[in-house]
């Protein structure tokens, strides 16, 4: 008989630390631990919160493994370059992670076989999710707490994984909510304080042994104080209850993992749990896993070294690219200094003018802005702005002659989100030579939103959403995303909503560039 069957399973609370993408290691750890323990309560922060809610829904470890191993986590980074800049400036984070929320809602509703949005109190096991907000030791979403049990489970997890500046913060009672790791990355201390005498096992992502304090920048030191100080206290206090999983060199934000990296994380979790069980005396000396442990540990460290080499190589490539850019830029500056040396020796008296033509993507004659907005000209330490006239041009007069031949940058200012098509381009100021600035209206290639039943206030699936015969359908949660092809893009759109049994709706003047989701309720036709 296998040695694992000589022990009766003990009931335990499972606490999981945050750690971003490295949370896959928890699956490997649970593959081993579930043979000895029966977990009835799942608690976690960030990545730990994701696993906690999925396990709390009743998913088996094998089911959780299948979901995570087949998921492309890079999809959660749901914004391109310009959208990221816009999100950071207006929403305080690069990514809104709506794709994450939809994915988690779908997995939970599929497991619980419901067409409704899954709230915490619908989960089969108790779940506690930790986030951070101002004025509180922690923001806790608990499926047994009357104050939070009706919170949508996916929203609670989204709050817990709101890594500052990476994912946009969520809101609770008017205050911004951030990643739980800011206050309770390994939430064992606060959980045990609120629930004394709870028997638990903790899963912690970090080095197995103290390796000294590495030299960091001031920002790095502040971040360590902010996110790790409580961790060290908890580890010292609860070391005998904690499975420490060393996932280095996988980084928290490495969302695009190879199969080798995923298997490395799983094996790191398995071996960490085996080591924990060996220390607990739960695996006897005849167990084959004990005999294989050292060989597996050696193989894991060999894989770790290969991954370390890969990371070091990439860092060296980045350093090489950085210094090459510096050197080439310096050579370029010296070259232009030599080329323009004669002109700089000329008299700095007098001035010249520059005309800038503002046009669209169809060429220099596509004057999409007439009597709208202003062109900003940056040269030297000077910034000037001129209105776009009825001919689609801006004229800058009396530019000092000393800037002749200098580089300049052009930008567009407009109440609507018009931006330069080539924001990093520079222009040389030359007498009697006009400049051409191509602009476009950002964010008009997509609309999204949700459709509700006016009477029941439930979401409606399979609603046809169309713009000029370009159509899509709402999913089972009522959400839709409609890509608008270039030939049909406009500052304002007319959107049609249709489903059999409901009154068809047409909404005029939808402005896709605002990025705001469309919320619409359809009335039944009978």
Nearest-angstrom CA–CA distance, 47 and 44: 7
Are the C-beta atoms of 243 and 204 separated by less than 8 Å? yes
Nearest-angstrom CA–CA distance, 239 and 276: 10
Q: Pick the closest to residue 447 from 481, 487, 498 (CA basis).
A: 481
- 519 phi and psi angles, rounded to 5 deg: -115, 120
Q: Apex CA 371: angle with CA 370 and CA 372, to 5°?
A: 85
State both tokens at 60. 């088996």
DSSP state of 484: P
Nearest-angstrom CA–CA distance, 259 and 350: 66
How many other C-beta atoms lie within 10 A of the C-beta of residue 261?
20
Of 142, 179, 231, 246, catalytic: 179
Nearest-angstrom CA–CA distance, 242 and 186: 10
Nearest-angstrom CA–CA distance, 116 and 147: 20
- In 109-181, DSSP assigns E strands to 126-133, 139-142, 165-167, 170-172, 175-179
Query: Exposed/middle/buried for 88, CB within 10 Å: 0-12, 13-18, 19+?
Result: middle
DSSP state of 355: E
The DSSP bridge pattern shows strands 493-498 and 505-510 to be antiparallel
Nearest-angstrom CA–CA distance, 36 and 201: 12
Residue 179 designated active-site: yes
- Bridge-partner residues for 44, per DSSP? 16, 129
Please, where are the H alpha helices in 374-448? none
Nearest-angstrom CA–CA distance, 519 and 448: 9
**Cis amide linkage into residue 107, ω under 30° from 0:** no
- Bridge-partner residues for 14, per DSSP? 42, 201
Q: Whats the size of the chain, residue-wise?
A: 526
Q: Is the four-CA dihedral 34, 248, 18, 277 of positive or negative sign?
A: positive
The residue with tokens 């946009």 is: 168
Query: How far, CA to CA in Å, does 107 sit from each of 66, 121, 126, 150?
Result: 12, 16, 18, 18
Query: Exposed/middle/buried for 412, CB within 10 Å: 0-12, 13-18, 19+?
Result: buried
Nearest-angstrom CA–CA distance, 259 and 262: 5
- Bridge-partner residues for 423, per DSSP? none
The residues carrying an active-site annotation are 46, 179
């Amino acid at each position: 008989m296998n040695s694992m069957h000589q022990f009766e399973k003990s009931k335990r609370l499972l606490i999981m630390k945050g750690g971003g993408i490295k949370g896959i290691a928890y699956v490997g750890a649970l593959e081993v631990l579930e043979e000895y323990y029966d977990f009835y309560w799942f608690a976690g922060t960030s990545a730990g919160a994701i696993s906690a809610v999925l396990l709390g829904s009743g998913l088996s470890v094998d089911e959780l493994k299948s979901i995570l191993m087949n998921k492309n986590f890079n999809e959660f980074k749901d914004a391109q370059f310009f959208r990221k800049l816009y999100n950071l400036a207006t929403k305080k984070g690069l990514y809104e992670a709506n794709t994450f929320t939809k994915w988690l809602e779908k997995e939970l509703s599929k497991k619980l076989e419901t067409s409704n949005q899954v709230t915490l109190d619908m989960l089969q096991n108790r779940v506690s999710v930790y986030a951070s907000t101002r004025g509180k030791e922690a923001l806790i979403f608990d499926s047994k707490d009357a104050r939070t049990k009706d919170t949508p489970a996916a929203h609670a997890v989204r709050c817990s994984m709101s890594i500052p500046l990476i994912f946009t913060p969520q809101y609770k009672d008017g205050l911004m909510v951030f990643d739980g790791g800011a206050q309770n990355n390994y939430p064992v201390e606060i959980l045990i304080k609120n629930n004394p005498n709870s028997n638990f096992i903790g899963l912690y992502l970090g080095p197995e042994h103290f390796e000294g304090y590495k030299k960091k920048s001031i920002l790095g030191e502040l971040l360590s104080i902010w996110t790790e100080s409580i961790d060290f206290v908890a580890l010292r206090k609860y070391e005998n209850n904690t499975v420490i999983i060393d996932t280095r060199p996988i980084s928290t934000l490495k969302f695009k993992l190879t199969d080798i990296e995923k298997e490395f994380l799983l094996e790191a979790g398995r071996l960490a749990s085996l080591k924990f069980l060996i220390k607990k005396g739960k695996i006897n000396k005849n167990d084959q896993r004990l005999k294989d442990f050292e060989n597996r540990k050696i193989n894991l460290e060999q894989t770790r070294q290969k991954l370390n080499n890969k990371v070091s190589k990439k860092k060296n490539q980045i350093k090489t690219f950085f210094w090459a850019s510096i050197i080439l830029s310096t050579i370029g500056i010296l070259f232009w200094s030599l080329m323009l040396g004669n002109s700089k020796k000329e008299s700095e008296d007098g001035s010249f003018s520059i005309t800038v033509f503002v046009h669209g993507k169809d060429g220099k004659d596509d004057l999409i802005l007439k009597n709208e907005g202003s062109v900003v000209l940056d040269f030297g330490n000077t910034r000037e702005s001129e209105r776009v006239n009825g001919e689609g041009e801006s004229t800058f007069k009396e530019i000092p002659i000393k800037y002749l031949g200098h580089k300049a940058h052009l930008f567009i200012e407009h109440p609507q989100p018009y931006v330069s098509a080539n924001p990093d381009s520079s222009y040389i100021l030359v007498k009697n030579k006009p400049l051409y600035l191509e602009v476009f209206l950002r964010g008009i290639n997509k609309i999204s939103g949700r459709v509700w039943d006016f009477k029941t206030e439930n979401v409606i699936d399979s609603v046809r959403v169309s713009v000029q015969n370009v159509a899509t359908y709402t999913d089972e949660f009522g959400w839709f995303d409609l890509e608008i092809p270039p030939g049909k893009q406009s500052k304002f759109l007319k959107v049609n909503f249709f489903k059999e049994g409901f009154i068809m709706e047409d909404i005029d003047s939808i402005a896709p560039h605002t990025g705001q989701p469309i919320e619409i309720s359809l009335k039944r036709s009978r």
